[in-house]
Every structure is written in structure tokens, then in C-alpha cells.
Structure 1
Amino acid sequence: MTKRKSMFKPGWGLALLAVTVVIAGAIWLYRAPIHGYAAAGTAYSARVACSCRFVAGRSLDDCAKDKLAGMELVRLSEDDEARSVTASFPLVRSDTASYREGYGCVLQDWQS
């Protein structure tokens, strides 16, 4: 009897399974409720932090203390020149609110 040589080396099946699981997990994370929570959390945080910073005149570090429970992953950054604050949920979502004279802080248009 002749032995057949396999095209695949041992371990290829496991590597293919791991790649499939990672891709499926990424798709699930994108479609999961976390996307909606991130959208609401970043929009809320950007608008509140912008008001805190440019209406109340507090520092952004001081404003970050006002985040609600569950928003620990939301990161804040400011653009002093544009008078805006951006809130981001890493790898998922970010929103920016800008100070407009007479209106206060308003969110920039949503693109999604």
C-alpha cells in the first residue's frame, strides 16, 4: 500500500478554527448591544464634558470625574482651538461636541 501525503500539516485545522472564532467574535461584537451602548455613552459624554469644559470653565480632568457609572471605558479629549470635546469608546465609536455661541455645546452630525 502506498501512503498518501497530506497537503495540510498538523495544526492547520486548529489555526483555521482559531481564525474563524476570532472573525465570528469580531462580527458579534460589532452587532452586539455594546455598539448601541457605546453610541449613547460617547454622545452623552461628549456633550456633557463639552459643557463642563467650555460653559462652566472647568478642566477636562475635573470634568472626567463626572462620568456616570459604567462609562469607565469612555475616553475624553479636547481641542481647545475648536472648542470641542471628543468622547471615544476604543475601537467602537467616537462622538464630538463643539461649543457654539448662543447654543452651548452641540453634537456634530452623526454619520451612521
Structure 2
Amino acid sequence: MANRRPNSGAKRSLASRLILWLLVLAAIGVAAAVWANRAPIEGYAKVGTSYAARVACSCRFVAGRSLEDCEKDKLAGMELVSLSDDADARSVTASFPLVTANTATYREGYGCVLEEWEG
């Protein structure tokens, strides 16, 4: 007969539950930290997407580069900002997931101009 410990399964089950609870508490802590700092996060996201839209619009419709090439012009720390263009409207939209998006449109004689911010 194999030498088995009688409570080894119970200890593993307890450890699994403890790890699960710690992960749940960590997720709640992260969510609370994000909620508490939502105004600065939203502000930085709005400024970052505005900057990215304006620069990418100029890159795309003034310099005539591809949007993929314009992605290289994003600053460090802007990895979460995504760009999309509308060739017919001559505009570029930059978005930060679940937070904000901003659009810059090329206007003859003015270059790329940001759309007005709402509220």
C-alpha cells in the first residue's frame, strides 16, 4: 500500500480557495484604484488621443504617409492608443479603449484640426 497523507487533498483545496480569494481581492483593489483615479486617467487619455489624432492626421494627409507608417510617430507610453483613418473625410481618429476617442480632420488652408470636445 502507498503511504498517503489523509488531509493532503483538503490542504490543496484550502490553498486553491485562498489563492482564488486573494485574486478576487486584488481585482477589487485594482478596480477601486482605477475608479478613484478615473478623472486623471480620462484627462490623460483625452489629451493623448487628441495629440495622436492631430499628429497622425498631419502625417497621413499633409505628408502623404500610410497610417501604418504614421503609427511609428506615437510617443512612448501611447501603446494603448489606436489609430484609424477615413480617407474620404480626410480624418484620423485616435482612441483609448473604453475611455475616449478624438478625431482630427484635414481642412484646406488650416491643416489638421481637432473636432470639438464634448462635455
**As a proportion of its length, which structure holds more helix?**
2
Gaps of 5+ in 2: 1-20
Percent of paired sites with the same residue: 71
Q: Distance in 1 between matches of 2:36 and 2:69?
A: 32
For 2:77 and 2:34, locate their aligned partners in 1 and report how far apart those are by CA, in whole Å.
Answer: 23
| Superimposed CA distance per residue, residues 48-73 of structure 1 (whole angstroms, 9 cap, x where no aligned partner) | 00000000000000000110000000
Give 1:48's aligned residue.
55
TM superposition score normalised by structure 2? 0.71
Q: 1:28 aligns to what? A: 35
State the Cα deviation string for residues 29-60 of structure 1 (Å, max 9, x = none). 67242111101100000000000000000000
Q: 1:26 to 1:86 in 2, by over 3 A?
A: farther
Distance 2:68 2:36 in 1: 30
Runs of 4+ in 1 over 6 A off after TM superposition: none
Counterpart in the other structure of 1:7? none
**Structure 2 residue 78 is matched with structure 1 residue 81:** no
Find the aligned partners of 2:68 and 2:34 in 1 and give their Cα distance: 34
1:39 aligns with 2:46: yes
SS in 2 for 1:47: helix
